Structure 1
């Protein structure tokens, strides 16, 4: 297993760059965008709101409308499968004097939105739900007031919805989290001159008169890089190099956990870009040991936890993950999907209320994986399928287009 791969642009930063460019004054340039289904959903919604948003490409110019310059959409905002699109743009439209209806696919429609509705309602917006607190969701925006809000969880999307609402609404806010969540919104806004301050679990933002146009290159996505690092770790020989990866501390929990388990993962050539720290991630074969991941470990690797379970199974080591109940309300119930599929291919796995256990045992697997349309499940088991002697069939390979359209090609390039 040997090679160098530039994994695609970071999904979280791509969403935020499109939103910030739409709110900026003037023309912004965004390079290295993730050209995935989720990011296209954000572009589509912003286009519906009147942003000067062309068809996406690797190098795109976006004409911003300034604060309060977006317009009432003529049709429902179609968010596809993207929770980030829904929650962050809800914050933006909450500060505009019009009504927006958000719709999504079946998976997104089941995901909870009350976590953003509560703080945005406290700021002055009004929400309507047709089914519990999922989509369709209608947001009536208008004049907002500043708030001090405790998210009671580590939710970057809740935090970002509040920050974008306050930014457009021109009001101060302070936010406190129970644990540190990914902080790309604060980093990007701060790099553009917005008065944002952070102190451990607290974030505060004062009024900004405008958002200047900008030129940004999106770093490579550490969540996408994690799959190829896992493949290199489980290989018998070789080395994989992944340049330009964002190594923001709120995003590298998977790499840190692999190192704790004995993995050979390192960062070289550190530099700064887009307000973030970047590096080439280098990984190679390693003999792993048993591990436990607790609630404090979870926020920085929430998307990679199914992959960690698959890595433990392939390495034949015990793994216990707790404090990860958020996995139940992702694109699928990822705890149930992971455990059911590990058992289906012959691994020892058990569901916990807020996590899962993987037992040491056999290291060769065969069977059919039912992804439930979840890209993270498809890619996690795709790594197991790429290992020699495994015979694993994945029912929906195409769902990886949500976050990593070239996943199968990149995995194949390292195996050839």
Structure 2
């Protein structure tokens, strides 16, 4: 909230003041009473609690979702949930850790479990300001968002539609223009497949460079799947970025299902050696990727993964691309697992240009590499997958239709 105040000084009275032992004429300025009380009111307004960013949805499943938002002052957070338009009963879900309601934060996230698959819910977020005073706690005003709605993922077979963005590199206005014609309400989710940001400087960077536009376009009602790219590991605020996209497991990588389609979100780490000077001694991605590979090996053996009608992978850096250390290490430790896992397709980015790779000796599944000026709109329906690569320049558009295994 930006407040501009124009003050006037109606009373300018001549007086005698002493300067260096001598008398001199000057003007003494007074604020009028109206201006004084306006200043007091503005000072009080800056102390009010309000929702500054969000809310937005992430980590959606058939029976749950996480809601995230920020406030200008520290306080508690809760989500008020109603099942449908006719439902007057409100379920309250608090931002809490191990039973303790968090009351000293400006970043709030609430995990809501126990929902019905494929069901629509209404919600709003509320935060109440808190001020600790000695051994007690003082409460201030409560801020509330507008009312929104979402629909949980279905468990049974259904048509699945999702959109993928990658390599926007903090071009928030471009993203808004690119996606202006998209009907986000028809989508099951939107995937940020890496390098949506250029450099993680602070909280303002997260919202100004990307998330404010995402919230305006879709994220209050269509869930976001965040899949980290190599640029999102850079900058003084990079270590805090996962806090804005919390997961049930606490890991950046993971697996989820929508309908009878299973999705893997794999974290690429950095694209250069850990010892590269660009990382200032803060990179340990080789060990991290090996831990991720150990998790992946167990994940592809689960019943949820094996019985899915289709299996889709999101990974920012193409593992078979001729490139730096990151892609080579990904190919070495992840591809032996993925090549035996009956993957139907992989979506990648990183190269800033579109390419399509048919299955070959290095990858038993096709890989779609999206450019940095287009989005991918994918629909899985009746045993086939239709992929539309769309940008503002029609010459860069592509359509891929592929049969998927049953």
TM-score, normalised to structure 1, is: 0.30
By percentage of residues, which structure has more helix? Answer: 1
Name which one, 1 or 2, has greater alpha-carbon Rg.
Answer: 2
TM-score, normalised to structure 2, is: 0.31
By percentage of residues, which structure has more strand? Answer: 2
Structure of greater relative contact order (alpha carbons < 8 Å, 6+ residues apart): 1
